[in-house]
Structure formats: structure tokens, C-alpha cells
Amino acid sequence: MDRRTVLRATVAGGAAAFSGSLWAGAAVAAPAQPGPSPYGSLRSADANGILLPTGFTSRVIARSRQAVPGTSYTWHDAPDGGACFVAGSGWIYVSNSEITPGGGASAVRFNSDGSIASAYRILSNTNQNCAGGATPWGTWLSCEEVNRGYVYETYPQGGTTAVSRAAMGRFKHEAAACDPDRRVIYLTEDETNGCLYRFRPTSWGNLSAGTLEVLVGGTATSGPVTWARVPDPSAASTLTRNQVSGVKRFNGGEGCWYADGTCWFTTKGDNRVWAYDAVNQRIDLAYDARQISGTAPLTGVDNITGTRSGDLYVAEDGGNMEINIITPAGVVAPFLRISGQSSSEICGPAFSPDGTRLLFSSQRGTSGSSSGGITYEVRGPFRS
């Protein structure tokens, strides 16, 4: 894959390359430690209740059960995982709905100046759509976080019916991340004894058929690992995570992001960020709250995304409602905090194609209810 193709995938919201990343091609030396943010300290809360560094501003994009501004489309309950996609001179932000029944996903289309052009449904009548992942060919994989749930391939541009991709396995799906170099898709599982999977399509770009594999390894937090085929991805008689002996267990798999040879994924049950080195087939810890002396800045680790500068952004489910940055230098620090919403969680962080806007949601907003979700945008001088 040439550099132009990699960068095109990046701005489309798919498998991204961290140009200039210090992470690439090497094991993580040690888990990240607290330090000063490259953006400085957080200011007082703005009119939207968000604490941001100097130079950054926020706005509300949509609220659950209300029409998206400038449209007649009613935004869904419990907004969760999301991603951005190029759309002409503008872009699209997609967002899942983590409710049962109903679920599904919606999209907001933006003009090049950031104004809202339209909003619409891209997936309906599914269950507990939590996170997912963008593909390099411009589709959104929406994952059902239910027992024997499906991955649905959806079409952010609209006008095409979503398709369930049973070959990708039926389990309590959380997130997905495409690796165009090895032509596989990594999948996390939200179970206390869950696994990390990868799906190898028979034909890259076509998810109708392929091989589902599961990560095999010991109990160590670093070292070499291997992959084994899951005999029955349908889990008709045996759960996928129990079909292969010696699988590596993870406590509550959450967000997943691929960049430049590394798959980053989070586990909420133990507040960790993991790094799977796909080149050398080994895992390491990029962050572990238990290895922080004093108060850990990042807890309730959940959705994760990255930038071309090599920075990771990790959203909190609970904690003190922050998105934390983890830099390639191994520093973890708060990037933003939402005040007055302690009964919610932050979901769906994703950057606009030009890297100047970060979109995300507070799943339950100030009400603490799925009907109170709020989707935001933060704009400012992000590192490029």
C-alpha cells in the first residue's frame, strides 16, 4: 500500500497511519505515565459544560429525541461509537445507538465549512449497537453488544441497505479496526473473560466470507502471541471465546484502533490500553491504571481513536468524564472534561478528515437517561 493510499484511508476515517509516529514498529517500552498535556491545562467549563485547553471551542451537534439543527431528522437515543468519512468537499459523522430494541445508527452530513447539510438513518431494527469501526472502502461496521450479536456493514453515504456479516462471528461485539497491511479486521469482545479476534476476508473489501481467528497466549501482559482459527463463528453450540484452548483472556474489551502496524485496544474491566504489534506478533501495555502512583488520570477506559501525529485519544465510561490523550512519548493527560454529567459516559470520539474537529457524544447527557444523549464537536489546533 503506497503512502497516498494510506493517507486517503486516514482521512476517510478508516485504518490510519500515524505519520511520524514514535510508536511504530517497536514494543511499548513502558506503560504511559501522567505528565503535562501538549495542549496545556484545562480552562473553566464553557457554556456547554466542557473544560477545554486554550484555543479550543465546543458546540452541540445533536440531542437525542430532538431534530438535528437545520434538519427534520430526530437524533437517536444513547449515541455510542462513531467515525468520520469523507463526503465530497465535506464529511459525514456516523453514530451508533446503544439501545434494545431499536439500536441502529445515524449519520450527520457536514458541508466543508462545518455547517450541517443533512441527517438520516443508516441502520435500523438491531440491538445494542455499541462501537464498531470504519473500513478503508468507506463503510461503517456497526457492532451489536449482545450475546451472539452481529456485525453490520453500513453505508454512511446513505441509499444502500446495511448487511449483517455473519462470517465475522457472533458474539458480544464491541469495536472493530481494519488493518489494510495484513488485510484483516480486529474485533474486541465485551465480556469479563473475552477475547481479541481478527477476521481475514477471503477477498479484501468483501466481508461476506472469510476466516475468524482468536488471539492465543498466556496470562502475561507482554510477549509473543499467535492466532488460531475459530471452528464455528456462528457459536451455534459453543461460544466463540470457548472454542479454542489457550486463548488470551481480556477483561471487558472496548475500543479498538489500528495505525501503522499496531492495533490499540482497551479493556474497561482493568483500565488498560493494550498494543498489539502486528509486525512482530506480540502484545504490550500502553497504559495501565494500576501502574500509576497516586490518582490515575484515565479510568473507565472505553472508545479510542488516534491522529496522524501519533496521539491516542481515549474516552472514559464513568471516571470523571474525560477524554485523555496518550502521546507517543508515553505521557497521559486530560484533553477535555465534561462537567455535570457524572451518570453518563463519553462515546464515539472521531476526527474530521482535516483533523481540526473532534466529534464525540455523552451517551446519557445531564439526565442520566438514554433519551438525554448529546453529540458534540470540539474545534481547535490539534497536533498534525
> Would you state the cell numbers that stand for residue 56, as one nine-digit string?
479550543
Give the helix/strand (H/E) hosting 4: helix 3-11
Query: pLDDT tens across 184-238, in order?
Result: 999 999 999 999 999 999 999 999 999 999 999 999 999 999 999 999 999 999 9
**Cα 259–chain centre separation:** 12
Residue 146: predicted pLDDT: 98
User: Half-sphere exposure (CA, 13 Å, Cβ side) for 261?
Assistant: 15
DSSP state letters, 355-368: SSEEEEEESSTTTT
Supply the pLDDT for residue 198: 98
Grid cell 465534561 — which residue? 338
| Per-residue pLDDT at 384 | 86
CB 247 within 8 A of CB 179: no
Q: Alpha-carbon distance 142 to 161, whole Å?
A: 13
* pTM tops 0.85, yes or no: yes
d(CA 174, CA 192): 13
Phi, psi (5° rounding) for residue 53?
-70, 165
Does an H or E element contain 276, and which? strand 272-277
Please tell me the predicted confidence (pLDDT) of residue 27.
55
How many residues does this entry show for the chain?
Answer: 384
pLDDT of residue 29: 75
Please report the pLDDT score of residue 86 as a whole number.
98
Distance CA 167, CA 153 (A): 12
pLDDT in tens, 78-108: 999 999 999 999 999 999 999 999 999 999 9
User: Could you report the average pLDDT of every consecutive run of 10 residues in the chain (384 residues)?
Assistant: 31 39 56 98 98 98 98 98 98 98 97 98 98 98 98 98 98 98 98 98 98 97 98 98 98 98 98 98 98 96 97 96 98 98 98 98 98 98 94
Q: Is the Cβ–Cβ distance between 349 and 59 less than 8 Å?
A: no
The amino acid sitting at 32 is A
**Per-residue pLDDT at 368:** 97
